[in-house]
Structures are given as structure tokens and as C-alpha cells.
Amino acid sequence: MTISKTVLATALLYAVLAPALTGSGLLYAQPPDSLIVPAGFHVTVFADSVDNARSMALGPQGTVFVGSRTGDKVHAVIDRDGDSKADRVVVIASGLDQPNGIAMRGEALYVATASEILRFDDIEQHLDTPPAPVTVRDSLPNPDDGHTWKFIAFGPDDLLYMSVGAPCNVCLSPPMVSTILRMKPDGSDLEVFAEGVRNSVGFDWHPETQELWFTDNGRDALGDDVPGDELNVAWRPGLHFGFPFCHQGDVSDPEFGAQRACSTTEPPAKTLGAHVAALGVTFYTGSMFPDSLRNAVLVAEHGSWNRTVPSGYRVMVGRTDGRRATSYEPLVDGFLPGRDSGAPGGWEATRTAEGRPVDVLQMPDGSILISDDTGNRLLRISYTDATSTSSASVVRAQDRTEVTINDTDVTPENLTSSRDGTVYFGSMEKGTIYRAAPGASQAEPWISASDAGLTRVLGVLADDESNTLWVCQNATGGRGDEPVTGQTALRSFDLQSGDARSAYPFPPDSGVCNDIAISTDGAVYVSESFRGRVHRLRPGAAELEVWASDEAITVIDGLAFLADGSLYVNDFRTGGLFRIPVNADGSAGEIMPIETSIPFSRPDGLRSVGPQTLLQAEQGGRLTELTIHEDRADVRVVQDGLPRASGVTLVGDFALVLVDLTRAVVVPYRPR
């Protein structure tokens, strides 16, 4: 039997360190002293002893699954007590051929090896006794030559995307190779999504545009400085990104360039450094880091192996504008000490490095994990700023059990929160808007009903992007000789000052202005209960328009958008859940019912908390999490015993649930 140098070195290292292992099998080491992060950021070791840690995926219950490339194992990293340090690292699969690709769909873990895609069902319930995997698809392209490892992820369209690397440094690839492919979750209908991709080991979808961004490693043997790696945008299917004819968008290949001009290929959004080995890519959507990093793209540069002066060995952050990266700077540097001042180049750089970052995973609390395949660990990057109310509010929220309102006879029906943790309540009885400062346990009167002309407020929604508080107000009176007071309308207020901006009246004889949602293009959608209608306010429009109407949603209540671009609505009376697609021209598509794994009990407030995940307050007395898979919703009860739960909002890793039309209770919650 032949033992590779890598395996032998790993065995010797384990023998030396074994006495220092904890009883759980974890080695709690310190992160390298060489790592450099901006002020306010902190690096800690989340988990050690994760052999050849590569791609990562987060399970619904918080388990971090980690693949490997030079190893044969898939690990589950478990932090049950929530202290941001792993309690256990468990091998859930072994004997696999390059199980680099990892993705979650609902409760199922998908693993891509060099030649097949496997599925481990209900995995988090069986970490110590994993089920036999189901083969989703075998005979994958290019299992044997060159860049054989795969990267996988589920897109907003619920299709499984997979990269297939080139079988060479540079060559004409066979069909389905040097591509990004996609297929249905059952492995059927495999098709090419993007081609001319030499070796992508990371991609993610922009949180606003839902367009696919991916890294691609440039060819070797053209010198130290050409070509650069690429950060690309596949904004539609069928684009060609140049390989092997053109590199970095403007470098014609000396052997194959004559066969296709660079002008006929898709240029990169950003040309990265030559040989940096850009791998994992993730868009940051959390609330822990500074607001300036929201929707920024994070890129793990694994580091060069053949450059005279080494490059990479860091995690970068880029801000984007449309399909361009407008900035690109280090977030975590120092994996290779002295990279720019005397560190050895070539293969020696890989042996000198104190780590090589591979993938980036955002955690529910807004921190990120970085996998390190030579350090065999996961590093955690967190951020604290004493002057930041958003950071402090999450901490203080742990000390409060509820948020009450400092007034009587308020009858709030809904609540919302802004990015900094401020909580806003409406009032059906008085019409006043109440506001609780970040972390505060009591809300105070803020926008006076008499000053603003507000009456019978139901839905409220804070929109940080436009600095707007949207409010659903309703006319009162009109029965018998009782005079009508106010109007039924969508109202807008300045989110910081509370100053009134505009009013958008409903049509005459309308129902109830109930709840509000905002699409990625900034359009505002409003539910009208008892008339079964959804109104839309286009950006810059002066009045509402009826966008969708159907008897199936007569008592429409909550509504929210998910990453697929569709509007999801519930019906309070029937307990139904529905999807309304947004057509290319902006019109409403056919209203489709969604099957639910368990029945709802008077569903009310609805909020989006993930690409496929909704939180729902049910007046039957519970908070539920809905994970959408095509035409079905997997429903998980987050907490029972919440009387008349009518609204929900997320602040940090806690849900605030409005109960009894009086107060909000704090419920610990980690979104999927």
C-alpha cells in the first residue's frame, strides 16, 4: 500500500497533538497571530480537527456541513449551546471520491463527488447514525482528469447548480465540461447554464438581482501576472465566459484565441490577481457587520502555488454596482505571513502558509465562517462596535423577554423593525405609531395620530433602503349615522424623523388595508382584506393600482417576497398559502396554491427571513417557519403558546412576536 505524503503528514501531526484533544475530540487552538482584520472585527476558531475543510453548508438546525477535496470525508460541525464554538465534529460520510460539493435543501444534504451527486435525507436527525445516501445522479462529466472536484448550490429557482472544471490547464473541453450546469433536485433535466468556465469553485446569487456571480481560476503557464482570476456574472443562461479562447476578458489565448474573439465572450465583473486561486464567494446579507458591507461580495483567495511572488492567501470584500465590482479590498489577510515581503514563492508558499481559505459561510447571527483546508479548521469572523446601536441591540435583546407599549387601549395588530433593531408598532384603536429604541423593553408614542391624520393602523413595514416607514391606515365609522373618519390608504413616513411624506388612497368601497411587502425593485405591495386584492405602488408612482385579485384570497392577510421573485400571501379565513409570480412585464402571474405539510391556524403576519423561508404568526397561537420547495411548504412550529399571534419581526437572532394585541414577546430563532 502506498501512503501519500499528505496522509502521512496528517497522521504524524495527529499523533503529536492527540494528547491536547478535548474529550469531545476537538482541539481548541487559537487563530494564527498573523491574521489581520479591520478595526472592530475579531477572529476566533469555530472548529478544529475538520480534515481538509472545503465547501460549507448550513443545516436548518444550525449544523455546519463541510466537504473535502484531498480527503474522502464529509463532516458535521455542531454548536448546540450557541457559544460560537463547536461542541462536536462528526464524520457523517467517508470513503468518497473528492466530496467537495455541499448543499442543503430543506432537511436533505446534497454531496457532490467527482462522479456523482448523493443525498442524505433528514440528516440532522441522524448525525451519529447517518442514513445510506440516495444517488441523485451518477456519471457526472469529467470525473477523472484535471479539475475533477465539483461545487454545488441551490439557486433561487430551486434548481441545483454544479460546476464542472476543465480536464487540463488549457484545451478544448468535451461537451458539458468547463461549464456551470443545472438540474432539478431529483437530478433530472441536466442542462448547461454557463460555458467557457475553466474552474469555478464558488458561486452565489446577488440578494437583490438574483443573478449568479461566480469565481473562475485563470490558466497557468503565461507568466506571473497574466491572466487574472475572474469574478463573473451569469445574468442569463447561455453566456460564454471565454475559456479556452480568451482569458480575463481581454487576453487572447496563444493557442486557441484565433478560434473565438474576446469580444464575443462575457467580460468579468472584476479581474482579480493572477494565480490568487479565487474559490468561495458569498454575498453578505447579515446585520452584524457595518452597513457599508451589506450585499457586498466576499471572496476567498486560496493562494498561489506557482507564482514567483506569492499572491492570494486572504479573504476579500467587494462592493458592487449593477454587474460591476466597484471596490475590492482585504477583509482577512495574513494567511501567508510576509507574502509581499520575502515569503517564498511556488509550491514552497503553500507549505509556509499558516492557512489557505476556501469557502465563506454566513451564520444566522451575521458572523461568517471561513474554511481552511490546510489548517483543517473553521474560523469565525465577528464584529463589534461600541458606537453601533445595531450591534448593541442584539446583545441587549437577550436580556428582555418582551416589548410592551407605554400607553393604554392601543390594540396593535402588527409590528416591524429597522436594521438597527428599532421596533415599530401600529395602533388599531388610536392610530398612533409607537417606537422602541434598539434593545429597549418598552415602546413610546412616536407619530401622533392627531398630528399625522392616522386612523386604525394595521400593517407597518420599515424599509431601510428608502428610509421609509410604510403604514396601512383605515377609515373608521360609517355605520348608521356614525361619520366616517380618516381614509383607507397606504401612508409613508420618514423612518428617522417620523415626518409624513405621502398618502396613497385605496379605491372607494374598499376593504381593509392590512399588510405590506416590498419587492427588490422598490415597488410596494399592499394586501386588501375582504376584497381579495393586492395593490401595487410602482417606484415614483403617485397612486396605487390593483395588481392581483382572486376569490381564493378574499381574506388575504400577510404577504412577503422570496428570492424566486414571487409574492407569497396567506388567507386568514381559509388558512391557505399562495404564490403570485411577477411576470417579466411586472404583471401578476397565475395565483397558485401552496401545499403545506401541516394546516395553518388563522395565519396572519408574514415575513421573509431567507431565500426560501418565511416566518408566520398564527392567531391560533403559534409562530411557524415555512420553507418553500416548488409548490409545497415544509412547516416547522418554532413556538406554541403564543395567544393571538398576529405579527412577527426579526431582530438579530430573535423573533419578536405580537401577542394578544398588546405586546411583543421575544422568541429565540435561527433562520434556515
Question: Are the C-beta atoms of residues 359 and 64 closer than 8 Å to each other?
Answer: no
Give the end of a domain, one of 383, 410, 436: 383
Which residue's C-alpha cell is 399625522? 452
Instruction: Cis check for the bond before 244: say yes or no (omega within 30 of 0).
Output: yes
Together in a domain, 311 and 352: yes
DSSP 372-417: ETTTTEEEEEEE--TT-HHHHHHHHHTT-SEEEESSSS-----EEE
287-320 residue pLDDT tens: 899 988 999 999 999 999 999 999 999 999 999 9
Distances from the Cα of 538 to the Cαs of 115, 310, 354, 410, in angstroms? 48, 51, 52, 32
Distances from the Cα of 290 to the Cαs of 39, 315, 331, in angstroms? 11, 17, 12
Radius of gyration of the chain (CA): 26
How many domains, in total, are found in the chain? Answer: 2
Helix, strand or coil, per DSSP, at residue 68: coil
Together in a domain, 311 and 406: no
Question: Are the C-beta atoms of residues 276 and 229 closer than 8 Å to each other?
Answer: yes
* Beta bridge partners of residue 494, listed in sequence order: 468
Show the cell assigned to 424: 415599530
CB atoms within 10 A of CB 427: 25
The domain in which residue 294 lies consists of 5-383
Burial of 152 (0-12, 13-18, 19+ CB in 10 A): buried
Nearest residue to 313 (alpha-carbon basis) of 336, 331, 330: 336
Together in a domain, 602 and 474: yes
Distances from the Cα of 177 to the Cαs of 148, 294, 346, in angstroms? 10, 34, 28
Together in a domain, 307 and 404: no
Q: Say which CATH number the domain at 504 has.
A: 2.120.10.30
Question: Are the C-beta atoms of residues 371 and 54 closer than 8 Å to each other?
Answer: yes
CA angle 89, 94, 99 (to 5 degrees): 95
pLDDT at 389: 41
Together in a domain, 267 and 397: no
587-635 residue pLDDT tens: 999 999 999 999 999 999 999 998 899 999 999 999 999 999 999 999 9
Helix, strand or coil, per DSSP, at residue 561: strand
Distance CA 409, CA 461 (A): 22
**What are the b/e assignments for 23-58, b being 16+ CB within 10 Å?**
eeebbeeebbebbebeeebebebbbbbbbbbbbbbb
Give the end of a domain, one of 383, 414, 445: 383
191-237 residue pLDDT tens: 999 999 999 999 999 999 999 999 999 999 999 999 999 999 999 99
Distance CA 169, CA 385 (A): 45
Question: Which residues lie closer than 8 Å to 122 by C-beta, 6 or more apart?
Answer: 107, 108, 131
Which residue's C-alpha cell is 492570494? 312
Segments of the chain scoring below 50 in pLDDT: 1-28, 386-398
Distance CA 193, CA 236 (A): 8
Together in a domain, 356 and 426: no
Distances from the Cα of 31 to the Cαs of 27, 92, 561, in angstroms? 12, 26, 39
pLDDT at 29: 55
Together in a domain, 336 and 449: no
Nearest residue to 562 (alpha-carbon basis) of 505, 656, 626: 626
Distances from the Cα of 321 to the Cαs of 214, 266, 297, in angstroms? 16, 17, 11
Together in a domain, 359 and 427: no
Residue 403: CA atoms inside 13 Å, Cβ hemisphere, count?
Answer: 32
Helix (H) or strand (E) holding 450: helix 449-452
Distance CA 167, CA 149 (A): 11
Distances from the Cα of 243 to the Cαs of 147, 150, 168, 199, 273, in angstroms? 14, 18, 11, 10, 17
Distance CA 240, CA 316 (A): 26
Nearest residue to 561 (alpha-carbon basis) of 527, 595, 510, 528: 527
* Beta bridge partners of residue 625, listed in sequence order: 615, 636
Together in a domain, 424 and 344: no
Nearest residue to 98 (alpha-carbon basis) of 164, 14, 45: 164
Question: Are the C-beta atoms of residues 120 and 131 closer than 8 Å to each other?
Answer: yes
| Greatest Cα pair distance in the chain | 96
Together in a domain, 167 and 201: yes
pLDDT at 671: 63
Q: Is the dihedral of CA 639, 645, 648, 654 positive or negative?
A: negative
Together in a domain, 415 and 363: no
Show the cell assigned to 111: 454531496
Show the cell assigned to 355: 492557512
pLDDT at 28: 43
383-425 residue pLDDT tens: 987 444 443 333 333 457 899 999 999 999 999 999 888 999 9
Together in a domain, 402 and 516: yes
Give the end of a domain, one of 333, 350, 383: 383
Question: Which residues lie closer than 8 Å to 188 by C-beta, 6 or more apart?
Answer: none
